[in-house]
Amino acid sequence: LLCVSVNIVILVLAVALFLLVLHHNFLGLSSLLRNEVSDSGIVGPQPVDFIPNAPQRVVDGRDEEIPVVIAASEDRLGGAIAAINSIQHNTRSNVIFYIVTLNGTADHLRSWLSSGNLKSIRYKIVNFDTKLLEGKVKEDPDQGESIKPLTFARFYLPILVPRAKKAIYMDDDVIVQGDILALYNTPLKPGHAAAFSEDCDSTSAKVVIRGAGNQYNYIGYLDYKKERIRKLSMKASTCSFNPGVFVANLTEWRRQNITSQLEKWMKLNVEEGLYSRTLAGSITTPPLLIVFYQQHSTIDPMWNVRHLGSSAGKRYSPQFVKAAKLLHWNGHFKPWGRTASYTDVWEKWYIPDPTGKFSLIRRHVEISNTK
C-alpha cells in the first residue's frame, strides 16, 4: 500500500512538473509570437528575417507600430543606415523598419545593423523579387544608367507590409530631424491612398534646378505629344509631387488596386514611351503622377526639404536646415559622394561600415589631397 502511495505521489509530481514546463514554454511562445511577424505565402518580395529582440517603445500609451519602408541597395547602403539611425534617435515611438533589398545585400546589411547604435532597432529585411518588373521596365540607352529595381519598391507597399493599415515610405538619401510620429499622423482625405510633398510648395519652389528642366509640373515628366497622355485630360501645368517621401493609407491603396494601376502604366510606357525624355527624366515618378492625379493629400513641406543633392553649393541657410524635419539629397550629389552640400549634417547620423565594404568616397579624395 505504501509503495502504491509513493508511486501516486511521484506520478502527481511528474504531471505537475510537466504542466509547469508546458506553461513556461507556452508563455515563451506567446511572447515570441507577439514580437515576430510571419509572412508565409507572400508573392513577390520575400521576408528574410525579423529582429524582435529590441524592446517596443511604449510611451504615454503610444504603442501603435509605425512601419517605415526604405530601400537599401548595395552601392548606397550607407545612406539607408544613416536614415534609419536618424529616425530611431529622434522618436520615442514604436518604429519597425521594413528594409527592402536584393538577396546579395542581405548579409552585408544584417552585419551592419548588428553593430553600434543600431542594435536597438526593430527591423525586417525584405528581399525584392525582380521578376515583378518583367515586361514593365526597359533599359533606356538615352538615360545612360541601368534600371535600378529597388526604385520600384514603393509601388508594392501592401506586399512589403502585408498587415499594416498605414505606412511611411522614404528614399535612402534622407536624414530625419523631427519625430517620425508627426509625419505618420499626417491627415489623409477620404478616398486618398497617399500624401506627398508637392513641388510647388513654399520650400522647394525657391530653388531653380539648373539643367534639370521643369521639375515642378506634369509636363516635366510626361510626353504630352502622345495621344494616350492627352486623352487623360490632365493639365500639363498641374503641380507635380516628389515620391521620395510619402505616407500611404494601405487600406485605401488595396481597395483601389493602386499597385495594379501603376503596373498598367509601366507596361504602357514600355510599349509606347509615355514619359518625357527631355526634362525630369525620372522613371518612377510618371506612373505615380498619373494614378494620383488630383487624388492625393499633402504632407508638411518641412517633412521633405529637398534638392540638397541638386548641386554642390549651399542653397539653404543654416537656420533653415536646422529647422527642417526631413532633409532630402535628391539629385546627383549624394552626401556620401565626392561633392555634396551639408555633409556635416548627414555625417552626424552615419555609422561606419564594420565590414569596410562601404566607405565615404570624399574621404578618399580628402586623404589623397593631403598627401
* pLDDT digits 0-9 by tens, 299-328: 999 999 988 987 767 778 999 999 999 999
Query: DSSP states of 246-300 as a string?
Result: EEEEHHHHHHTTHHHHHHHHHHHHHHH--B-SSS---SSHHHHHHHTTT--EE--
pLDDT of 39 over the 60 cut: no
| 236: DSSP letter | T
pLDDT of 23 over the 60 cut: no
Instruction: Name the fold adopted by 66-203+212-348.
Output: Spore Coat Polysaccharide Biosynthesis Protein SpsA; Chain A (3.90.550)
Q: Would you say 87 and 169 are in contact if contact means Cβ atoms under 8 Å apart?
A: no
Cα 54 to chain centroid, rounded: 20
- At 120 the pLDDT is 87
pLDDT tens digit sequence for 140-192: 655 545 578 999 999 999 999 999 999 999 999 999 999 999 999 999 999 99
115 pLDDT band, cuts 50/70/90, is confident
134 pLDDT band, cuts 50/70/90, is very high
pLDDT of 277 over the 50 cut: yes
- What is the pLDDT of the chain when averaged over all its residues? 82
- At 139 the pLDDT is 72
Q: Which pTM does this prediction carry?
A: 0.81
